Amino acid sequence: MKLLFAVLILFAPQITFSQQCNCQLNFDYVVNHVKNNYAGFNDKIKKGNRKDFEKLTSFLSVNSLAANTVDSCYVLLRTWTNYFKDNHLRVQLDWRYRKKYPEVAKRLTLQFAKPVLRPPAADKPESKTSFKVLDDKTILLRLPSFEWGEKKNIDSLFTTYSAELKNAHNWIIDLRGNDGGTDYAFSAIMPYIYTNPIITKPDEYLSSEENIEVLTENLKDDELSKAGRDFLTTLIDLMKKNPNQFVNPSGKDNFEVKFDSVYRYPNKIGILIDRNTASSAESFLLSAIQSKRVIVYGENSAGTLDYSNTQYFNIPCKDFNLVIPIARSKRLPAHPIDNIGIKPDVKINVEEKNKINFVLKAMEQDKK
């Protein structure tokens, strides 16, 4: 613990707090709101680790009195949220702070950044959504993100290259570095992958008072679709009727997704992943691997999917954002993914210099 605090106070503080940014006040806010609203709290804090957790919390609470800079308080808050090992649960620097102090923000962010897989220079994935013909049978789809803004790019690609996609015998989908976004982003892909009904597990939501307040506030968004508004209204009503419980707005333990037809092509789909493939990209994988066409290549994915539907809470200091997942998957506890990841069917050594070519050759040798 002494070593930890040494890190806090030695980390070159540069930006001092204004009067309203009291670190102890912000620490208490984070602790109370995570305990009350985080869907994974009671799954993560159990009898076996409760004493260690409470010891860490007490230690950081005391030392929050001395954390009188943005730098040191951010490190302290992140140290506490990182205990849960859930990348969806976090304190982050507000965009206005990052814009005003870019170098400080970069340095603080790097202090907690996960080690990023650096591919060999000859194997650097494209940074943009793209389509490429590899040979007379195989096309390559590069999908670096499933962020909401990428949905229109993915949909446009599938419209532009519709004929090529429908006639290609083999596909390679490169998901390396795709850290997710929204499941809606990959909706255009699923009809091509589909061979049989896809079973998915819904989420259940923690109906705390503050979670209800946050979702109610979301209803004020003018850009919210009718379907989104209807879903939120139903969810909020259900949460109000069942306070401080987990509620399942679908009322089902499983969903079965069916399409009207099965496309003739592609015959085979190779999906390339790495340790940075996360969140909604893993959600895509869970559906895709149920297809008879799909083989997954690479290494275990990131493992960031069990707790989702992240919401922003108004932490007292405006230099920070508190982000809390308020839902958990019905896969739990039987089939966790967090900090485990999804295992590929075919492992590729990280030092392989041309992973796309590796997948291409493997698919050529696969005679099924």
Work out the mean pLDDT of the chain and round it to a whole number: 91
Q: Detail the DSSP E strand segments found in the chain.
A: 90-93, 130-133, 138-142, 170-174, 198-200, 203-206, 246-247, 255-257, 268-273, 294-298, 307-313, 320-329, 346-347
Domain segments of the chain as ranges: 2-113+309-328, 121-202+256-303+341-365, 209-243
Q: At what angle do helices 23-37 and 50-63 cross, to 10 degrees?
A: 150
What does the alpha-carbon distance between residue 110 and residue 175 come to, in Å, rounded to a whole number? 23
Q: Which residues pair with 298 in a beta bridge?
A: 273, 347
pLDDT at 331: 95
pLDDT at 271: 98
pLDDT of residue 136 exceeding 50, the answer is: yes
Q: Is 112 or 25 the better-scoring residue by pLDDT?
A: 25
Helix (H) or strand (E) holding 5: helix 2-10
Q: Hey, what CATH class is 2-113+309-328 in? A: alpha beta
Q: Hey, what CATH class is 121-202+256-303+341-365 in? A: alpha beta
Q: Is 20 or 226 the better-scoring residue by pLDDT?
A: 226
Please state the three-class secondary structure of 91-159 as a single string: EEECHHHHHHCHHHHHHHHHHHCCCCCCCCHHHCCCCCCEEEECCCCEEEEECCCECHHHHHHHHHHHH
What pLDDT band is residue 17 in, cutting at 50, 70 and 90?
low
Of 11-15, 321-325, 329-333, least confident by mean pLDDT is 11-15
Residue percentage of the chain with pLDDT more than 70: 92
Q: Which residues pair with 296 in a beta bridge?
A: 271
Q: What angle do CA 288, 184, 196 make, to 5 degrees?
A: 30
Q: What is the mean pLDDT of residues 272-279?
A: 95
| pTM metric for this prediction | 0.87
